[in-house]
Structures are given as C-alpha cells and as structure tokens.
Structure 1
Amino acid sequence: MPDVQRPTVRDLLDLHRDRDPLVLAVIELGPHAIATSTLDDWESVATVVRTGDRYPAAIAWRAGYTLYHLGHTERAEHFFENADRDELDDAERAQFCAAWASSAWGSGDAERSEALGLEAFEAAERCGDDSALTWAWESRAMLASIHGEPRENLHAHQRALDHALAARDDLMESRIRNNLGSVLFDQARYAESLEQFEHALRLANGVGHLSSIALIRHNVADVMLNLGRIDEALVEVEAARAIWAGLESPMVGAAWQLLADIQRARGNAAQAAMAYREAVTVAEESDDTQTLVPALTGSALIQVATDPAGAEQTARRLLSLPSAVGLLPGNLTVGWVVLAAGDAEAAAAYAKEALAEASQRHARAWLAEALELSALSTSDNREAQLREAATIWSEIGNPIRLQVNRIVQAHLFGSPFTEQLARSGLRSLGVQEDAYGIAGPLHAISPRTGDHPVHVHVLGTFVLSLHGRPVTSSEWPSRKARDILKVLAGRGSRGIRREALADLLWPDDADPGSKLSVALSQLRRVLDPDKAYGTEHFVHTDRVSVRLDMANVSVDVADFVVAAQESLSAARTGDADAIGMLEAAAAMHTGEFLEEDLAEDWPAEMRDEVETLGNEVIRVLAFALQDGPEPERAVPWLARLLTYDPFDESIYAALMRVLSTAGRHGEARRHHHAYVLRMREIGVPSMSWEDMAA
C-alpha cells in the first residue's frame, strides 16, 4: 500500500505559499510528486511558481510528465514549452528532456521526440546520475521503437531498469517493467509480458500511482485478449476504465478502444462499434494518436457489414497517421476491407507490404495476420501460408486466432464436418456468431447461407442478410420499412395486430392505414428484390395482423431463445451434452435486443426477457464447469458474469477460489483488489483475501 504518511503536492501547497520554498519542496518529494498529483494540483502549483508566462523547469517537467501520463497532452505540452530550462543542472535537464520526449511521442511528434531524447542522453551521460540515466535510457528505448529496432529497444529498457534499481525509484521501475511487458507483448511473448506487468502492478500499487495502475491493468487485459481469455480481459479493462474515469483522464479513451477490441474478438459487433465511437471521440479531443489508430482500425473492420464505402474511407485514413508499429495497422486494415469489397488484387498488395514490415519488426502476431490476408487474397501458396500462420498462433498461445485459422483451413481444404467441429471449438472459447460479419479471415470465406435466404439479426446491431449478404442502409427505401421488420422479428410467429403496428410507427397519425400498406410493400421489395417468391412468402398479412413466415425467415433472437431453453432443460436433467449445448447457446447471445434502439420503449420487454435468459445460460454454464472435472474452464464464464454485474460478491468469491485452487494466485489477488475497489464504490464493507479465498 502507498505510504499515507508522506505529504502530497496538495499538502505542500498548504505549507508553502512562496515560489522558491514550494519548488524545493516539490523536488524533495521525488517520484511521489508525480505519483499522487492531479491536473488540479499542478494548476494550483502553477499559480504560485509562475513568473509571467514561464515556469521553473523543475516544476514544468514533473507537471508535464504527470499530465502526459494522465492523457492531458495539451496541458502537458504547455508546461514543457513554457519552462525556464537555463536553470537546470544536467541531472534535471536529462529528466526534463526525457519526460518531454515521451509527451511529444504520445502526441505523434516523432521528430521532436527524437531530438529531445538525444539531448536527454547527452545530459545524463555528463552527470552520471542514476535517476537521470534511468530516464535517458528509457527515452532511448522509445527512439528504438520509433525506428523499428526491437533489439536496441529491449537493450535500452534493460539499461534503464538497472539504473532505476540503483536509484531505488519504484515509480520508474514500474514504468520500465510495464514498457518491457509491452515490448514482449509486441513480440507475442505473452507469458513473459504478463510477468512484467504483474511485477509493475505491485510496484505501482506500492507507490499509489493510480494512472500507472490503470495503464498496467489495461495492458494485462490486452494480454488476456491475445491469450483467448476474453472475459477476464473484459474485467481488467473495465477496472482500468473505472480508474481513468475517476481521475477524469482522457486515457479513458484507451480503455474504450481496448474494450471495443475485446467485444470485436467476441463477435459483439454492436457493443464494439459503440465503444470504438467513444474511443475515437476521446482520442481526437485529446490528440491521442496511440489510441486513435487502433480505434479507427477496429471501426473500419466493423463497418464493413453495413457501410463498405465508409469502412474503406476510415481504413485509408490510417495510412496517414503515425503509429508505434508503422503502417502495419493501416496496411492490414485496408487489406481486409478491400478484400471484403471484392478487390483481391489490392488486398494482396497490402498484404505484401504488411508482411515485409512485420518481418522487419519481428512482430509475430502481425506477421501471422499478414500471412492470412495474403493467403485469402491470392491462390498462390495459400495452404502453406495458412499453415505458417497457424504455427505462429499456436506458438504464441492465441487460441482464438488459431481456431479461426482452423475454420478457414477446414473451409478451404477440409470437409463440412471438420469445419463444423472447428466452428464449435470457436464457440467454446466464447466467440459469438457476429464474428463472421466483421472484416477479417472469417468474413473472407464464403458466407454461410443456412436453410433460409433471409436472415434477420436483432441481437446487437440490426442487420438483414439476403443469401448471406448484408443489406446496406442505402438499399432501404424508407426507415419505416426497416422498423416494421424489427418489430416483426421481435414478435416471431405471434405477429402483431395491424392497428398496434401502425400506432407504434405513426403514433400521432389518426389514420395511418395507407402509410402502413406502403411501408409493407417496400419491405417486401427489400426481402425479395428479384420477385422470386409470392407476396406472402416472407411477410404474411391479413385484415387483422402482420407476421413473418418463420418457415422462410430465420431470426437470431428466436433461434437463441429455443437454444437457451433447450440447453437449460438439458442442464437440469443432467444431460451429458449439456455443457456443449450451453456453450452453443451462449455464443448465439451476441448482444442486447436491438441495441441501437435503446431509447425506444417497445423493445424493452423483449430485451429484458432475452437478457435474463442469456444471463441464466452463462451462470448455469459457469457453475456446471466449476463443479466438473476441469474447474478452470469456469474462469472465463465467471469473468463474463462480472461484466454483467461488477458488484456480485458471490461471483468474485467463486472466481478467486477457482484461481487459487489452480495455483493462479497472482490473478486471484488481482480480482480481490478489483472486488475491494468495487465494494468501496457502493459503500459496502469488503471481505478479506483470506475469507474470500477460503
């Protein structure tokens, strides 16, 4: 726990109202000044120490680095740019320049970052101070990352760590270990990166640096995602988001971005799209390119199903933005998007560029994805490239991407039976059916038409598919025609009375009968553009009611309700196939009923019914696995329950017991810490670690 006896910057403001004593007191506070201060604290300090529009450099770099770490990039740059640097000795100069280099890099100014990094290193070498050399070597590691030099990057981090240990600077050691973890993560060395992150988290907890704690937990979530532990990743990123939100930090945009990535991996397209929008908004407001690049990447991949032209426009924007991994995100994203649009030749060209850069950077996960894009863009060497990608996914331990690769290989080279087995394996990892509608390897293989030419998707984003092809928004002649289909999809075979349907759509119109007839005709034209079927084939109407013909139209919510009820019945009777049935039903629950219409009243009853049923499926599955021969299989499902209700004490207790029994004590401790924070939010006393793990 942090040392509560040490003063904070806010305490120093109460003690020192004059410039020079306050500056000296902040310097003497050391790393604690950065760890415990907020934007308001530094703005208050600024009013005391400012001379005209200039600040003492010793205050400016500490304020600037704190605010950079909190995501307040513009205010950070203000402090750096208005600092009196002439008064600095070499040790302080090195730290000033290195801190500013970090802020410049975060805002995408690589040229300034490089110049400052070099100045920091020269000053640190002149003075030989361990703290200065810590900052300088860490700045050199950043420069190596900018230039795509992974070996030099790792070497510089290690030298920085040596000096941080010599200086006994826990805050910088935490930062370096977090950065080392990120380097190992980029090399797909996930187990090693997780060790560094957990060490960094212990140090950050010790000094009480909340923004570091949030950042590290965010990075842990990224590791969990790449290890296929989707629901555990959601718990970690939600914890990070809660901390950043409490600090009023723009870094909350990074949490939104990773939350969206996790939802995209799970196949929750609607929730992913919403989170990406939040991330892009925050990143653009705070000039945060590190968040903006992956947020735009995910947005483009999600957009493919409903707005192909918009998806390509978003993807091409990536090619003009700076990124820690160069043009890799842009080339791969544009490649998948143009492949979805049918331009395999262009996709192959982008794949070639991505392969070259991924190889240069030793970025194995990016390399595997580039191999898959190349294989699906051209028939040349296709099988060998997919197998090489599968080997990489297997070696780095990413089970979701490995299973996706198996589905693609089974589809292209295997039998329908092996493909079905592979699809079942993906469902067992918690990936839902919407994943097939997102640009990428699954989207690139032939669409699955099923038994019906018309499929209506209402769990999450509303999508109508005809013979496996999503109908774009421009193909709808009116919004009312779309709304009729949404209402009918929710009603299933029951249908709805004509008067009730008209009142829903035109509540202020005294006689909407003719408008309803026009909208129904428009809907029929969308469902059967070639007029291959009779008028009543998809939509049945009479003088009293309107309904879909469920023999000719498939609706995801209807399929889910049947699957959930049958799987829960199997669980109650002890059926040997119950676990598999519950996993399949869980995969079909791809989001809330009509998530884009949350402001409307009419879907509320159906939405509540579906959410209750979905939650019950997950809970029964989680506890069935916990009581079975492999209790660790319950972990992701217990974690998913926490994403539904982060204040459920019984779920925390069950999760911690399973993890402790499996020897995963660090993870169990992390969940206990999250539990304590959640209970504190609602003013409820928390149980001790010993009681919870018992």
Structure 2
Amino acid sequence: MHDLLRGRLSVVVAAAGYGKTTAVRQWLRDTGEQALVVDDVSADHLPSPQRRPDRLVLLSRRPIPVAALLRYDLGAPIEIGPRQLALSPRQVAVLLAGQYGVDNQDTAASVHALTAGWPALVHLAAAHVVSAGVSEPSTELLSQPDNPLHDYVCAEVLDDLTPDALELLAQLPVVGTVSAELTADIGEGRLGAQIGLLARLGLLLPENGRHRAVPLIAAIAAARHPVPPTRRAAFVALVADWHRDHDRLVDALRLATAAGDRTRCADLLRDHGADLLATGAGSGIVAAAAVLPDVLRDPAIDLIHADALQATGRTRAAIAAYARLTGGADSLPAGLAWRYGAALYLWGDPNDALAVLRRGRSGGDSDPDTALLLAWTSAAHWLAGDEAECTAFAGKAVEAARATGDQRALAAAHVALALCADLTGDPVGLRAHYSRALEFAEGAGDTAQVLRIRVNLAAGLEQEGRLIEALAVLHPAVDLARSAGYDSSLALALANQGSLLHSLGRLDEALACYHEAVRVYERMHSMKVAYPLTGLGDVHRLRGQPAQAKAAYTEALRAAVRDGHHRQSMVPALCGLARVAAATDQEEAAVLADRAVEHAHGRWVTTALVARAWVAWQRGASDDVRRDARAAAEVAAVHRDRGGLARALEVEAAATDDPAAARELLREALSIWTESRAVLEADRIRVALGRIAGDHGDLRLNGRLAGSRLAAAGVADMPPTRPGAPGRVEIRVLGGFTVLVDGRRLPARAWQSRKARDLLRVLVARRGAPVPREELADLLWGRTAPAERQKVAHRLAVALSTLRTVLDPDRLGPADHFVLSSQQDIAVDLGVLDVDVEDLFAQAQYGVRLRERGEFADAWAVLTAADRAYTGEVFADDPYTDWARPLREEARAAHLRILRTLVDLAQRAGEVDDVVHYLLRILSVDPFDEQSHRDLVANLSEAGRHGEASRAFERYAEAMREIGVLPREVLGVTRHPAR
C-alpha cells in the first residue's frame, strides 16, 4: 500500500467489502503519513478543488473520470483496485485459522477460490462454514438465500449495478469467460461496456486476456436476477458460434452442451471431432455425445465418441463402442480396425488386439489408416513377445506411412520400429526411432501419440540407467496427460514416473505416483494396473514390509492374468512374489521364479533370472545362483539394461566364495548405480561391500555409513547374510564387555566358562595379533609350575572350544571361522568379527582422511558417529587389568583425535556452539590440555560471550596452576585467580 499511495493523489476503487477504508487506515497507522482521506465519494460528490491538501486519497465504489481528478492539480492520479486489496490464499488460511478456528488448508483454499479473496466475502463465508459445520464449502452452500453472505451481496453489491451489468453477471455461470472483443462481435455492445466497469470494481477477474466472474457473485446474481431461458439460450448460442468461428472449439462444444443445444453439439462433433480430440477435449466430446438423441447420431459421431472414451480412460466403454461399430463384420475398415485393436492393446490384451487387427482391410497405398493398422499390429506382436512378427509388420508400416507422407502414420510406424529395437536389444535404434516418432507426432498435433512416445522413450532411458534424463522426458508427459484428460496415458506415465523416483531414492514421491496410477487404472478397469501395483510391492519390500509387498504383488498378478496372460506385467509381479516368498517358503518361491522365467521375454528375462538366482541363493544352491546370474548378465548386456546388469552382478557376488572376486563384482555394480544416481541401490551395494570378510578399511566404514543412510530413508532390505553361514557376531568393549550374536546379547549362562569369556577379552585386546598359548595360559591361570603346564594347556584348549561354540552354536562355519589357532598361538579374526573399538580406530582414521581431502560434510558425519560410539573406556567394567591398558590408552587417544578434528570442522563451519561443546568434551577427558583451554577462551571471546570466556579462562588458569604452568593471555582475557 505504501508504494501505491506515495503519489499526491490516490484513488482507491472497489466494490463494497473490499476493505478500502481498513487498508488506508492501516497504511496511515503504520507509516505515520499525513493525508486527507475522503471516504465513499462519487463522481458527482467530489471534494472542492479549492481545498487542495498536499496529499489526497479518495475512496469510491465507482470509478471516477480522470478529467474530474485532474482539477485537483496534484499530478497524475494513481488508482488502487480490488486486486491490491484482495487477500491472498495464505492470508485467507491465516484468517480462517486465527479468527474462526478453521485450521484446514483445503477449506481455506475453497473459500479463496469462491470469493477470490474479497475480504468481506471471506469473513461471511468463514462464519457460514463454521455455523454449517462443513469442511468443503461450495457455491451452492454459500449462495443460498437468507444467509448473511447472500443478503450482503444483494444489498451492498448487486443493488448498486445497472440492469446490463446484472445480466452479464447472470450469464457468466454458463458462459464462463467473456471479453470485450466477444461481446462486440456478437452485437452485445451494451454488455461489453460493462466488462471494464465490473473488472475495476472486482466483480470480474482477469484471466488470459479474458474475464470471469467471482464465483459467488455470479451464482447469487444468476439466482437473484434470472435471465429468461430463451434469451439465455440465444446468448449462449451466439457465444458458442463466436468461439467456433475463432477456432475456440473446446469452448464452443462446452457451451453448446451446457445449453442443451443438441444440433450444435452434433455439428461440432461431426465437423470438428478429430480437432477437438487432438486438443484434449475428450471429456467434452463424451459429455456432448451423451445428450444426442439417436436421430442426430451417425457413424462419424459414434467413432469420435468411441475415440474420446478411449482417450479419457473409459476403456471398457470404448471397446464396447468400437464393437458396436463393427456390427460383427469379419472385415473392417482400416480406420475402425486399428482404433479398436489399439484400445485392446492399450488395455493390455495382445491376443484380442491381434484378433481385431487381423480383420482390418487395406485402404490402398495412399491410405494413412492402413499404415496405422500395420503399426498397431506390430505393437501388438511386441506386447505378445513375438519378435519376428513385430519386425515384419513394422517394416510394412514404414513403407505404407512413407507412401502416404502422413505425419501421424509416420509417427506410429517409427514407434513400431522402436518397439522392435526394444525386443532385439538395440537401445541406440530405440532412441533414434522414438526421436523421429516424436517429431512426426508433434508435427501432426497428435497428443495421444506424443504421450505414448514420451512414456516409452523414458522407459528406454531408464533401462540404460539414464534416470535423470528419463525423468525430464516423462515429466511433461504427466502434465500433458493430466491437462488433456488422457487417463490411459496418465496412468502409464505415473507408473513409470514412480519407478524413476523409486530408483532415485525418492520413495514417498514414488508411492504417491504409484497410488495415483492405481486409481486411474482401476477407474479404467485395465489389467495394466499390475504395473503400479508391482511398484508398490517393490517399495514395501524395500522398506521391510513383506505382508504389504505380498498383497501388492498378488493383486498385480491377479490383474495380469485376469483376461489371459499379460506377460509384461505378469513377470515382474511373479518375480516380486518369489523374492518375498523365499524368506518363508522356498518351494513356493522356486515355483514362482520358474514361472517368471518361463513367461519372460526381451529385457524381462534379466529380471526373471535375477529373481530365480536370489531364490536359489536363499536355499544355498550356489551353482544355480551363478548360472542364472551369469545368464541374466548376458541378456542385460544385449539389451543394454544397466540396472539389470548391476542386479545380476550383486546376486553373483553373494554366491561367490572368494572375497576378492565378490568385491570386484560388487564394485562394478556400484559404479553402475552411482553413474545412474540410483542412491538407494548404490548404498545397498556399499553395505554388501562392507560385509565382505577380510576387509577392515574404508569399504567397511562406507558400508556402515550407507547402512545409516538407508535406515534414515526407511529402507530395511539390506543385503542379507549368506544362508547357512554363521551369525553376525558383534563384540563391544567400549564402556564394558558385551557380545551379541545376530543382534541378540549373549546372557552370562551362554558362556559356560568364565575362562572362555576372558580368553575372548584378551584376544580382542591384542587386536587380532596371534598370542602365544603359553602367554594366554599365564594371563588366564597365572604362572604355573612346569609339571602343571600340560593341564593348563588342556584347559586352554577346552576354553577355546567353548568360545567357538558360544560364537557359532549351530556349528555353521568351520572351527576357525571366528578364532584362528595353531600349535603355537591363538588369534581372533577381525575380518569376520565386528569389534566396536576397531571400528572406532577405523572411523577416526577415515574421518581425518576425509577432512584432509576437503570432504568436510562426510568427515563430520563419520566423526560425530564415532564420537557417539565411544560410550566409555575399554573394558570399563574391569578397569584394573594390565593386559587391557595398551588398548585402553589407544582408544582414549583415538577419541581425543576425533574430538579435536570435530573442533576444527566446527570452526570451519562457524558453529561456535559445536566448537565449545567439543572443546569441553576434550577437557573432560584431559583437563590439562592447554591448547584446548586457550581455544575455548578464544572462541567464546570472539563470539562476544565474554562472561563465559572469563569463566573458561579461570578454569584454564586453575588447571595450569595444578601442574605448575603459568597461563598466558588469550585475546585480552587476563584475569588470573589469586594464588
């Protein structure tokens, strides 16, 4: 308001209730400005020009002619209108929550939409919503007579308008939007003159060069001042014809339908049906056709009606409509045959589609419908997995399309060639043909084919691991399908978008896409609902929700086989079910996996073989795993299916006994997922790499970090432990001694022998170094006479056997899996044991290296996790054992190094609180660390926290006095305590 009212003469013009007076009063109060404000003025009752202040603000319910304003000689007047006074959606939400207790964003959005933010209407609508106890306000509810809102609009707004203005408002609920050009052309100039006036008052809202009414105002005006039906029909007919003549066919059809003008509807459908459908008016065509009596229908109208049903996702109705048009004939015109066959194809039934497509007859070399018939026949063979027939018909389609030169036919032919490339594993050809197809489809203005091509092209890019590119291709398709009302394309695009978001680690967004795709497909009764259902199953399995995963996969499989076998959606559902079943019923899992392999074709062979390999891995059949994994990798290479190749490498690594070979396989899989930016899959591989026996370094730490990220993302599907292998053993010595097997803490009774427990403690304290048997005997039983050494050696052997039994009670691994031994010495294998202090050392080294490489964020994550892991000194429950002292001191030093590096990182980030926190942690461990004392004082002083700095300096001085050192000045803080 300040910017708008800074001129010497301002005029605030709007209808009653826009808050003109309130806004100006608030402006004066907030700014302290001085102005003469004259409220409720009109052109006939203006203040005298002789009384001319330095600044004048006029408030009016009607526009004031500029000539009348220029008499004040205050410069050019500035007009402030209703759009500057209206409340924004956010302001409406705040008002409803604060003043009316309506804390519902959807309710607030509805109130704003109905009132356009008109302040008085917002208040009245909110009060009515509260009194009526509704959460979804509507035009019908708020415009009812005998409520305060209705009465206010009639008395304060409508009664002040001319009859022409009232008639225009009353016509708008049917007409929708108007422009001065429209009303001038149809001979309604007297109404056209009202548009500018009503817009300046805030009753009409600008919209793309046209105007629409505030919904509540139009509804109340139509009810209060009804237009006679004949006059309304005549006006609507004129407007509809104007839209038709100006190529606004969608508006023309909408108006003709709303007016119940059946003849105009029939003419528009017959003459312009294809154009209407191409511009996304499928729903409008369906609505218009529904009002036509049989006498006005003909085959051309019935055909465009069937096309509209198909485009808007009413597939069953479309198929029925096409079937009626065939009349049961064995031979069909090419145009009807390809449309009918395409509907069956898009519904997901290749066999029925082919049966119809074969009934089509050629219309000659120059007939585009013939080329389209051949192209859709090729596509149906692709859906059936028949490579030879797909290729043959694609070639014929290209020849026919080139003969016609029709862009729509050329687009369909290149789609057929792209599908052939998909079956034969030619991704370069696939992209090239889809690119050409997209050019032709866009040139023809064929929205349906543009959508189909974008969806398929994105799927091809996803297969190559080019996820970001695929998402960029697909996103416009989702928007276009949604705005154009192409439900079948929308559902498929959403399912594919969900798959991409899933791969990119955006699981919640993926779930939203899958759920919406399921809703759209279910509305269509399409078996293709199996696609998003399988996606839902994949997310649930990833999140460790097997019951929900199984339910989704089962429903997907049921949809895929409901009317025959839709192999493309059946195979991934079978694979998902097999993976879930493998944990509880390996026999059922094997049957499901075999079915998947049996029905798989093209790139789906990789998916099926990988699933069967995981099932075989679950039952420990390593040879079968390697066979299927390698076969899957070969198929993936042919189809350039990078994701499939990575999955094949992962399962082969799981079945590989050689740690070095497994590591190489997983590293290659990791590089694929990393390049694809599939963050969750990449982290799963990092976890698997970290679990490989014999690795204590960065791979193990990276695996731990990746596991933390996966847990934060809600992912529970970690690479599992090999079936039949010993459980995971974790040894904790920080803060006290504890052993966990498969996550369960061993009770005291599990040890059977205290000496076995002590043996493990000593071996861990030696950090995997071999300890001579004699030394162990002395540590555990004390020095003994030579004559007793044989007995002690036997006791040590018993303790060793007991220890091995405790760590591997089911004897799943070899005897020396966890504890290595020879005639001379014994050692623990730190490559297969998880020891918390060893992790601490590794994390400290890794974090420092990351900091030295400038990877500060990762260094902070590693070192803060290491700090949290330091829960106390080594063997804190037995602090006086000499054999533990070296490890205890080393762990303390590593922890101090972690803390000092965290101080450095916090200083770099300018996080003073973190700097202080970690310096205090250092001083709690080493109270005589002079540099940490000085750093603490300096940081507090630089942050302006002088009281804390002074107290820190006193603590520093006191600590130095205890060891006979004189404290030095720190940033001018020189208060020394009395000695």
TM-score, scaled relative to structure 1: 0.60
Change (3 A) 1:161 1:419: closer
Q: How does 1:21-36 map to 2 (within 5 A)?
A: 22-25=298-301, 32=308, 34-36=310-312
Partner of 2:493: 216
Partner of 1:178: 455
Are 2:663 and 1:383 equivalent residues in the alignment?
yes
Q: Deviations over 1:608-658 (max 9, x none)?
A: xxxxxxxxxxxxxxxxxxxxxxxxxxxxxxxxxxxxxxxxxxxxxxxxxxx
Identical positions, percent: 29
Are 2:679 and 1:399 equivalent residues in the alignment?
yes
CA contact (8 A) 1:171 1:207 kept: no
Partner of 1:190: 467
CA contact (8 A) 1:259 1:275 kept: yes
Partner of 2:509: 232
Partner of 1:156: 433
Q: CA deviation at 1:194?
A: 0.6
Partner of 1:99: 376
Corresponding letter in the other structure for 2:571: V
SS in 2 for 1:285: coil
Q: CA deviation at 1:145?
A: 0.5
CA distance in 2, matches of 1:69, 1:270: 31
Partner of 1:271: 548
Partner of 2:580: 302
Are 2:643 and 1:365 equivalent residues in the alignment?
yes
Corresponding letter in the other structure for 2:566: D
CA contact (8 A) 1:13 1:45 kept: no
CA distance in 2, matches of 1:268, 1:430: 11
CA distance in 1, matches of 2:399, 2:286: 30
SS in 1 for 2:640: coil
Partner of 2:900: none
Higher normalized contact order (CA 8 Å, seq sep 6+, divided by chain length): 1
CA contact (8 A) 1:254 1:291 kept: yes
Partner of 2:708: 424
Change (3 A) 1:446 1:23: farther
Corresponding letter in the other structure for 2:603: V
Corresponding letter in the other structure for 1:262: V
CA distance in 2, matches of 1:107, 1:376: 34
- What are structure 1's unaligned runs of at least 5 residues? 457-466, 468-528, 531-575, 581-694
SS in 2 for 1:327: helix
Are 2:522 and 1:245 equivalent residues in the alignment?
yes
Change (3 A) 1:283 1:266: same
CA contact (8 A) 1:403 1:422 kept: yes
Corresponding letter in the other structure for 2:620: G
CA distance in 2, matches of 1:179, 1:446: 46
CA distance in 1, matches of 2:288, 2:377: 26
- What are structure 2's unaligned runs of at least 5 residues? 1-247, 254-275, 277-283, 731-738, 745-749, 751-808, 811-860, 866-979
Q: Deviations over 1:213-259 (max 9, x none)?
A: 11101111000110111121111100000111112222222221111
Change (3 A) 1:391 1:343: same
Partner of 2:395: 118
Q: Deviations over 1:321-372 (max 9, x none)?
A: 1334052112212222112211212211222222222223222211212222
Change (3 A) 1:231 1:191: same
CA distance in 1, matches of 2:605, 2:303: 41
Q: CA deviation at 1:201?
A: 1.5
Change (3 A) 1:290 1:48: closer
Change (3 A) 1:363 1:418: closer
Change (3 A) 1:154 1:441: farther
Q: How does 1:289-688 map to 2 (within 5 A)?
A: 289-378=567-656, 379=658, 381-412=661-692, 413-415=694-696, 419-432=703-716, 435-436=717-718, 447-448=727-728
Q: Deviations over 1:18-72 (max 9, x none)?
A: 99x8444466789756413532244134324415454433122112212322335
CA distance in 2, matches of 1:357, 1:249: 30
Partner of 1:283: 560
CA distance in 2, matches of 1:398, 1:441: 20
CA distance in 2, matches of 1:30, 1:91: 19
Structure 1 window deviating more from structure 2 (58-67 vs 158-167): it is 58-67
Corresponding letter in the other structure for 1:56: P
Q: Deviations over 1:292-324 (max 9, x none)?
A: 111111111111111112212211222221334
CA contact (8 A) 2:363 2:370 kept: no
Q: Deviations over 1:655-688 (max 9, x none)?
A: xxxxxxxxxxxxxxxxxxxxxxxxxxxxxxxxxx
Change (3 A) 1:285 1:447: farther
Corresponding letter in the other structure for 1:397: R
CA contact (8 A) 2:425 2:640 kept: no
Corresponding letter in the other structure for 2:674: S
Corresponding letter in the other structure for 2:642: R
Change (3 A) 1:303 1:89: same
Q: Deviations over 1:404-456 (max 9, x none)?
A: 11111111154577654442221012113xx25xxx66667865478788999
SS in 2 for 1:116: helix
From 127, 147, 155, the counterpart of 2:404: 127
CA contact (8 A) 1:35 1:207 kept: no
CA contact (8 A) 1:34 1:62 kept: no
Partner of 2:760: none
Q: Deviations over 1:363-419 (max 9, x none)?
A: 221121222222222226222221121122111111111111111111115457765
Q: CA deviation at 1:211?
A: 1.1
Partner of 2:216: none
Corresponding letter in the other structure for 1:46: A
Partner of 2:90: none
Q: CA deviation at 1:16?
A: 8.4
Are 2:327 and 1:47 equivalent residues in the alignment?
no
Q: Deviations over 1:112-169 (max 9, x none)?
A: 3333222212211221211110100001000111111111111110111111122121
Corresponding letter in the other structure for 1:365: G
CA distance in 1, matches of 2:721, 2:473: 33
CA contact (8 A) 2:331 2:361 kept: yes
Change (3 A) 1:359 1:107: closer
Change (3 A) 1:102 1:70: same
How much is the aligned-residue C-alpha RMSD, in angstroms? 3.5
Change (3 A) 1:151 1:419: closer
Q: Deviations over 1:524-576 (max 9, x none)?
A: xxxxx99xxxxxxxxxxxxxxxxxxxxxxxxxxxxxxxxxxxxxxxxxxxxx9
CA contact (8 A) 2:727 2:742 kept: no
Q: CA deviation at 1:192?
A: 0.7
CA distance in 1, matches of 2:306, 2:533: 32
Structure with greater helix share of residues: 1
SS in 1 for 2:583: coil
Change (3 A) 1:452 1:313: farther
CA contact (8 A) 2:299 2:325 kept: no
CA contact (8 A) 1:227 1:397 kept: yes
CA distance in 1, matches of 2:306, 2:409: 13
CA contact (8 A) 1:33 1:62 kept: no
Structure 1 window deviating more from structure 2 (58-67 vs 157-166): it is 58-67
